[in-house]
Amino acid sequence: MKPYQQVPIVECGEALIAIPLTQFAVEQPHPYVRVAAPYGDKSPYSLRQGVLDRLLKAQDLLQNEHPNWRIQIFDAYRPLAVQHYMVNYAFAQSLAAKNLNPDELTEIQRQEILEQVYQFWAIPSYDPTTPPPHSTGAAVDVTLVDARGNAVEMGSPIDEMSPRSYPNYFVDASEPVTQLFHQNRQLLKQVMVMAGFRQHPREWWHFSFGDQVWAWLINEDDPTAQQLARYGAIEFLHQN
């Protein structure tokens, strides 16, 4: 169990709604749809209403500072089946990168790779008390595009399973280009946090509002806060 999963959830019942994609930059097809993730009739470009409201606010804050720049949404809602699929996909990708045969893995090797995967991917838990953040409709993976529609350089791609993904990896950078990576990450964090989000401590692209990670980070900053999560997994929404 990860520390944030100990935060209780008091589901508010807020609906999952479609993101107005014309107001943001997006990839089409969606990156996980491209690798055959099983969304069924669900759209990955969906969020809880309160989360979407804050994402729109973050976009406004960005454009106040950089006119015509946009937030690019990489991923948002992720059904539990998709979370399970993508964990397995990340595991397979890690094996391929290491030139390992899945049928010849030792148990130690398997556990080492799983530990690496679970540093960046939430366990696909079907327990209503420990939902993956994206399965709540309260987490969103984002980056930035400039006024010309070009991707703003962040120093590592989304979903890279390495320390380069840590938000402050380039904080002490000495080269101008790597200093720029840190500045761009700080800009993204600034507008998202000002809108009410909290940033995942290991992923520069991952922000959430209202889920267990969000509440846990608030409580870490202020132990007297006793903040609860307000969004659980969408699959269990109508059971509360």
Tally of CB atoms within 10 A around 163 = 10
Q: How far apart are the first and last CA of the chain?
A: 23
How far is CA 71 from each of CA 42, 58, 67, 83, 154, rounded to the nearest angstrom? 22, 8, 12, 23, 13
Task: List active site positions.
Answer: 203
Give residues with Cβ within 8 angstroms of 125, minimum separation 6.
5, 131, 132
Tally of CB atoms within 10 A around 59 = 18
The answer for 224, left when phi > 0, alpha when psi is -120 to 50, beta otherwise, is alpha
> How far is the C-alpha of 9 from the C-alpha of 69, rounded, in Å?
35
Checking DSSP bridges between strand 16-18 and strand 206-208, what pairing results, if any? unpaired
> How far is the C-alpha of 124 from the C-alpha of 78, rounded, in Å?
10
Tokens of 148: 């010309």
Helices (H), the chain: 31-34, 49-65, 80-97, 107-120, 176-194, 212-221
